[in-house]
Amino acid sequence: MDKLISKLKILAEGAKYDVSCSSSGVERRNKGKLGNSRSFGICHTWSSDGRCISLLKVLMSNNCIYDCTYCINRVSNDIKRTSFFPEEIAKITYEFYRRNYIEGLFLSSAVEKNPDYTTENICKALEILRFKYGFSGYIHVKGIPNTSKDLMTKLGFLADRLSINIELPSEKSLKILAPQKNTKTLLLPMKNLNNQIMENKEEKKKYKASKNFLPAGQTTQMIVGASQDSDYQLLKTSQNLYDRFQLKRVFYSAYIPVVENSLLPAVNTKPPLKREHRLYQADWLLRFYKFRADELLSEVNRNFDLEFDPKINWALNNIHLFPKEVNEVSYDELLRIPGIGPKSAHRIVKERKFFKLNYDNLKKMGVVLKRAKYFLTCDGRYHGGIVIKPEIIKYKLGEMENDRQLSFF
C-alpha cells in the first residue's frame, strides 16, 4: 500500500499543471451500479497558484519519451519516474470513490514507450473500473496524439470526456518548445473524434440503447505565456476549434515556470494570471455573445488590455456604434452593451413589447447599469454624462474598478 501511495504522490504532482478538466456537463443517475455523474463539480482541488479546479486528477505515468521544454515530465528532466498498472489506478479510483473522496476520475498520462502503449494502458484501467468495479461515474481522459484511430475509438466509448491538449497555438512555437509534436497530429484526432461524436448522436436518435461515445465531448488546453504567442493567436485558435470540432471548452493555463531554459520565462516570473483571466472572459464572449476573435483583437492590437475586460475594450474601440437605444436594438446588439448579459437582454426584449423602457424601468428590472449607462440610451435619454468619449468613460470605469478593489480592505 505504501508503494501505491508514493506512486500516487508522484503522479498526482505530475498532473497538477493540466487544467483541462472541470465540471462534466453530464448528468447520470446510478442505475444499480456504482457512482453518479453530476452536471457540475465532479470534485475539486486547489492548484499551486490558488485557483480552484476540479480534481480527479492523476497521471497513468510520468515516464515520458517526449521532451517538451515547458513540461515537468519531459524526458530530460531529472525527476522520480513511475507508472501505475491499470489495475492499480482502477482500484485507487474505486476505493477513493467509496470513501467519498472523489466523484470521478481525470486520468492523464505522459507518453510512455509510444502513444499506443500508453492509450492501451489507459483503456485497460478504464475497462477494469467500468466493468470489474461497475463504476459509472464521470471519467475524463487525456488523448495522446498519434494514437491509432481504433484505440481512440475504444477510449471514446469508455470515457465521458476526452482532451487532446494543444498547449501551444502555433506551429512555430511547437517547433521551438515541443519539436516532437505538430499541429497536424494534434488536430487530426480532434477531427476524427468530432465526427464520431456526431455519428454517435445520430445513431442514438435511431437506437436509444446504443453506447455513448464521449457524451461530454472534447476539450483542450493552451498554455499562456510559455511562448511568444499573442492573445490574438490564442483566441483565433480557440475560435477555430469551436467552429471546426465543436469543442466544449478551451482551457487556458497561465504558465508556471518550472524549468530554467533560455526559451522560457525565468523561473521566478509570476504566472500571467490576469492575462489568463482576460482570455477566459474573451472565450466566454466567443461562446455566448457571438463575438469573433477578429472583432476583439487584431494583428495590430494583439493582446488584451489588462485593465478593462474585453467587452468594455471592444465597446470603447467601437464607440461610434454607441449609445444604443434599448427600445430599438436587437437582442444580439443588446448583448454587446457592456454590463448587459443574456438574462438582462431577455428581460429588456420581453418588457419593451408593452411600453417604452426608461432608466428607472431598467433599474427596477434588475439591469446592472454601472457600466451599461455609458453605452445606451433609454427612450432617447443618455445617462452616462455630458459627452460620450472613450477617455472619459475609461476614466470613470477605472475609478469604479479602484473603488471595487479598495472596498475589499
Other beta carbons within 10 angstroms of residue 171's beta carbon come to 12
Q: How far is the CB of 110 from ligand SF4 (least distance, A)?
A: 4
List the one residue out of 203, 254, 232 whose CA is nearest residue 299: 232
Sign of CA dihedral 281, 285, 287, 288: positive
Contact present, 374 and 387 (Cβ < 8 Å): no
Cβ proximity of 164 and 186 under 8 Å = yes
Q: Which residue lies nearer to ligand SF4 by CB, 258 or 321?
A: 258
Shortest reach from residue 14's CB to ligand SF4, in Å: 8
Q: Which is nearer to ligand SF4, 108 or 200 (CB)?
A: 108
Q: For residue 198, which phi and psi values (nearest 5 degrees)?
A: -65, -45
Q: In what order do the strands lie in the sheet with 218-224?
A: 57-59, 104-108, 138-142, 161-163, 218-224, 249-254
**Of 201-260, which residues contact ligand SF4 (CB under 6 A)?**
none
Nearest distance from C-beta of residue 77 to ligand SF4, angstroms: 8
Query: Based on CB atoms, which residue is closest to ligand SF4, 250 or 334?
Result: 250
Q: Which is nearer to ligand SF4, 143 or 323 (CB)?
A: 143
Q: How far is the CB of 70 from ligand SF4 (least distance, A)?
A: 7
The set of cell numbers assigned to 400 is 469604479
Task: Report 308-347 residues binding ligand SF4 (CB under 6 A).
Answer: none
Between CA 142 and CA 209 the distance in angstroms is 26
Strands 249-254 and 218-224: parallel
For residues 16-55, which are near ligand SF4 according to CB under 6 A? none
User: Whose grid coordinates read 461562446?
Assistant: 287
Q: How far is the CB of 235 from ligand SF4 (least distance, A)?
A: 22
Name the CA dihedral angle for 306, 309, 314, 318, rounded to a multiple of 10 degrees. Answer: -90
Q: At what angle do helices 231-245 and 273-288 cross, to 10 degrees?
A: 40
Is the CB of residue 142 less than 8 Å from the CB of residue 136?
no
| Residue 239 and residue 233 in contact, taking contact as beta carbons nearer than 8 Å | no
Least distance from ligand SF4 to the Cβ atom of residue 167, Å: 6
Build a one-symbol-per-residue string for 169-208: x at contacts with ligand SF4 by CB under 6 A, - elsewhere. ---------x------------------------------
**Which CB atom, from 66 or from 280, has the smaller least distance to ligand SF4?**
66
Which lies closer to ligand SF4 via its Cβ, residue 108 or residue 344? Answer: 108
CB of 73 to ligand SF4, least distance (A): 4
CB of 136 or CB of 219, closer to ligand SF4: 219
CB of 181 to ligand SF4, least distance (A): 7
CB of 74 to ligand SF4, least distance (A): 4
The helix (H) or strand (E) run that includes residue 141 is strand 138-142
3-state secondary structure of 30: coil
Closer residue to ligand SF4 (CB): 18 or 276: 18
66 vs 117 by CB, closer to ligand SF4: 66
Q: How many CB atoms lie within 10 A of CB 362?
A: 23
Which 60-119 positions form the footprint of ligand SF4 (CB under 6 A)?
64, 66, 68, 71, 73-74, 110-111
The site for ligand SF4, by CB under 6 A, has a size of 9
Binding site for ligand SF4 (CB under 6 A): 64, 66, 68, 71, 73-74, 110-111, 178
